[in-house]
Amino acid sequence: MARSHAGIAVAPGKRPRGSLSREEILEAGLLIAKRDELTRLTMKKLAGELGVTPMAIYRHFENKAEVIDGVLDLFVRDAAVADHEVGKEPDAWRRWTLVTFGKMFDALTQTPGVMPFLSTTSRFGPAAMSALNAVLEVLRRAGMSEKQAVDTFAVLCAYTIGAAGLATAWSRADGAGDPDEERRRMRLSIEATPRSDFPNVVDAAADLAGVLQRFPFQMGLERLLRRELPD
Amino acid sequence: MARSHAGIAVAPGKRPRGSLSREEILEAGLLIAKRDELTRLTMKKLAGELGVTPMAIYRHFENKAEVIDGVLDLFVRDAAVADHEVGKEPDAWRRWTLVTFGKMFDALTQTPGVMPFLSTTSRFGPAAMSALNAVLEVLRRAGMSEKQAVDTFAVLCAYTIGAAGLATAWSRADGAGDPDEERRRMRLSIEATPRSDFPNVVDAAADLAGVLQRFPFQMGLERLLRRELPD
DNA sequence: ACCTGAACACCGTTCAAGT
DNA sequence: ACCTGAACACCGTTCAAGT
């Protein structure tokens, strides 16, 4: 359980002085988020991961909220959503934007525990700032005004976060793991409700189950980017 | 603090037997969510609101998660998002959908504490089912296939939830209450970051602050519904 | 300066007991 | 059957003490 900053196993309480850094605490936090769930991140669990007493963390962070904010920004940096080139074709900005928010969606669905905190964190960390800056750059170069670019960013961001939230919430509904089993159970559970109450829901059971298994993320994203610019 | 089911004040512990019902517990929960924040709903606080011991609630609900699920469904019913008529004009379905998800956005932004739970709750409650049924009905009558209707619902839902999340998260950033003060502070805080690092962000400071104050919800919603159907 | 250990107030929840 | 009161394990956090 205990890991030193150099990766050598250490007995608990035997940590060299001054070896605990903000960076390392946040990395341990992200590790817990990826392996377990950010929702289940505890000061004691985080301290255990670092081979340290919980109170040691308070020397580097004001409180847990500050730790979470830091982990979230590290998560954004780690996802590297804007870390790819803009192509040469006339429509390149659209493709780039699709890929960027696609990466964001993938990162969010693969690290489910972060969702509940996205509506809680208020400050933009440096990594979030950097990603925002890159997106604005591309949209402006595509010919958008400042306001158009900002609005488009906000709308795409909202859609991506909401889609990731629904995708993770629905996929975790039942059927521990296996996607086919998940879909089958969801379909049965919908078809079990009385058709006289919600006829349209029951009729669409198969399609609803399909959406629960694989959220139509790409479809909505393309709709949001369709016909945006004259060229 | 203590309120009877008939609205008459009662001394704590003096509640008539069998007067505590699931419905009343959920209503007290929604009251706390509206007045305070659902995130801060505690079994003890909820019990206090009802003039009862925390353990009394466990006679009616398995655990806190079940209470939250119930409050969320009551919240959906209370918002009555689908509770309005479809017009007669050829494009009526589009207007109806805009209003429906607009109501959802308003309800979510006016009851901020619910956001973190939307990615946690897995089951559709009866009120959610009913709203889903109504939306599918309108979209199908407009000529969509079952799959088209379901996908459209999923995409609109994701966007609305994400937008409400961002709107509440960002508006709570600073400036306790006053929207103008909020925008001013946000703008200053953005302009304070070094322009050499994030030039596009700094240049768009005024527009970003505007988005934080009022999220361009309508814009994205209209984009998602544009050119959906041939007619 | 940096970390530990004991303690506090609060949380969800169990359990045995009251009526 | 329905509710109470005491207790348990866990949480974030404070504080005084160690080196």
- The 10s digit of each residue's pLDDT in B152-201 is 999 999 999 999 999 988 876 555 567 677 778 778 888 888 888 999 99
User: What mean pLDDT is predicted for residues A30-44?
Assistant: 95
Measured CA to CA, the distance from residue A209 to residue A10 in angstroms comes to 48
What percent of chain A is modeled with pLDDT above 90?
70
Question: Which of B 79-108 lie inside 8 A of A, CB atoms?
Answer: none
Q: Write out chain A residues lying below 8 Å of B201, CB-based.
A: 129, 132-133, 136
Distance (Å, rounded) from C-alpha B25 to C-alpha B8?
16
Predicted confidence at residue B121, as pLDDT, reads 77
Taking contacts as CB-CB distances below 8 angstroms, the residues of chain A near B207 are 146-147, 149-151
Query: Tell me: the pLDDT tens digits for B97-136?
Result: 999 999 999 999 999 899 999 987 767 889 999 999 999 9
User: pLDDT tens digits, residue range A114-147?
Assistant: 999 998 776 788 999 999 999 999 999 999 999 9
Q: Are A158 and B165 within 8 A, CB to CB?
A: yes
Question: For the residues B33-61, what does the mean pLDDT come to?
Answer: 94
Walk me through the domains of chain A, giving residue ranges and CATH numbers.
2-61 (no CATH), 79-225 (1.10.357.10)
CA B53 to C1' C7, whole Å: 27
pLDDT for B92 equals: 95
Distance from CA of A14 to the nearest CA of B (A): 39
Confidence of residue A8 (pLDDT cuts 50, 70, 90): very low
Least confident of A151-165, A177-191, B52-66, B159-173: A177-191
Q: Is B186 on the interface with A (CB under 8 A)?
A: no
Q: Give residue B10's pLDDT.
A: 41
In degrees and rounded to multiples of 5, residue A223 shows phi and psi of: -60, -40
* Distance from CA(B42) to C1'(C9), angstroms, rounded: 15
- Letter for the amino acid at B171? S
Does the distance separating the beta carbons of A201 and B147 come in below 8 Å?
Answer: no
Q: What is the pLDDT of residue B230?
A: 44
**Residue B137 reports pLDDT greater than 80:** yes
Rounded-to-integer distance, Cα B69 and Cα A178, Å: 25
Contact A223 B226 (CB under 8 A): yes
CA distances from A75 to A32, A80, A110, A132, B201 (A): 12, 9, 11, 15, 20
Q: How far is CA A152 from CA A158, A221, B222, in A?
A: 10, 11, 13
- pLDDT attached to residue A229: 52
Tell me whether B222 touches chain A (CB under 8 Å): no
Distance of CA A80 to the CA centre of its chain: 12
Cα–Cα distance between B230 and B135 in angstroms, integer? Answer: 19
Residue in chain A nearest B203 by alpha carbon? A146
B65 interface with A at CB cutoff 8 Å: no
CB contacts under 8 A, A 193-212 vs B, are 193, 197-201, 203-204, 206-208, 210-211
Q: How far apart are CA B106 and CA A19, in angstroms?
A: 49
Question: What is the model's pLDDT at position B184?
Answer: 81
How does DSSP assign A150-206, residue by residue? HHHHHHHHHHHHHHHHHHHHHHTSSSSS-HHHHHHHHHHHHHHS-TTT-HHHHHTHH
Mean pLDDT of A34-62: 94
The answer on pLDDT for A50 being more than 50 is yes
Contact A69, A123 (CB under 8 A): yes
pTM of the full structure = 0.90
Q: Indicate the pLDDT class of residue A6, thresholds 50, 70 and 90.
A: very low
